[in-house]
């Protein structure tokens, strides 16, 4: 059987918080993570600059190795100091967490607090990864996030309408 080529993460979705700190990885993202992880493993970490989390599948490990090599090579070329160990711990500091067939997973409290996640998660595709936002944090982003903010507002309104 030939290997499935991972197509990346695209689209938007919203998932309200469930009981016991559980969230649901929406079907669109669940399928992509399964393809990338060859199973049901979601990798999550804090985004280095935005107040959100980054999600991806296990296949990104190889890409992160290549990124580390590239960053070191560039630093050497321009004569900058490069602490490979520190950068590696930043890139590989993600958590691997299982999710069930319905996409349910438990998010650790420290990740929730790092990204200010409370009532629910807005998912935004980003190609090699996707971001997970507290809608209030996304709303604080600049005009270049207008499309994501509009999608989030619409999905949030739909979720509230279903909840009534």
Bin 143: left if φ > 0, else alpha if -120 < ψ < 50, else beta.
Answer: alpha
| CB-count burial class (<10 Å; 0-12, 13-18, 19+) for 112 | middle
Per-residue pLDDT at 117: 92
Average pLDDT estimate for 20-31: 89
CATH number of 12-58+94-163: 3.40.1550.20
Is the pLDDT at 2 greater than 50, yes or no?
no
Q: 3-class DSSP state for residue 140?
A: coil
Q: Tens digit of pLDDT for each residue in 31-83?
A: 989 988 878 999 999 998 999 999 999 888 888 888 889 999 999 999 999 99
Name the percent of the chain lying above pLDDT 70: 96
Residue owning tokens 């009981």: 19
Q: Tens digit of pLDDT for each residue in 9-18?
A: 999 999 988 8
| CB-count burial class (<10 Å; 0-12, 13-18, 19+) for 75 | middle
What pTM was estimated for this model as a whole? 0.84
């Amino acid at each position: 059987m030939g290997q499935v080529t991972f197509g990346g993460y695209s689209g938007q979705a919203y998932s309200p918080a469930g009981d016991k700190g559980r969230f649901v990885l929406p079907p669109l993202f669940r399928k992509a993570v399964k393809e990338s992880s060859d199973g049901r493993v979601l990798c999550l970490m804090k985004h280095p600059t935005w107040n959100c989390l980054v999600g991806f599948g296990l296949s990104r490990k190889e890409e992160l190795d290549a990124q580390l090599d590239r960053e070191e090579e560039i630093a050497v070329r321009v004569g900058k100091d490069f602490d490979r160990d520190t950068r590696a711990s930043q890139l590989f500091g993600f958590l691997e967490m299982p999710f069930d067939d319905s996409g349910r997973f438990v998010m650790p409290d420290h990740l929730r607090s790092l990204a200010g996640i409370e009532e629910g998660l807005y998912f935004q595709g980003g190609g090699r990864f996707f971001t997970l936002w507290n809608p209030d944090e996304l709303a604080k982003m600049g005009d270049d996030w207008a499309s994501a903010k509009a999608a989030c507002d619409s999905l949030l309104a739909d979720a509230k309408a279903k909840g009534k």
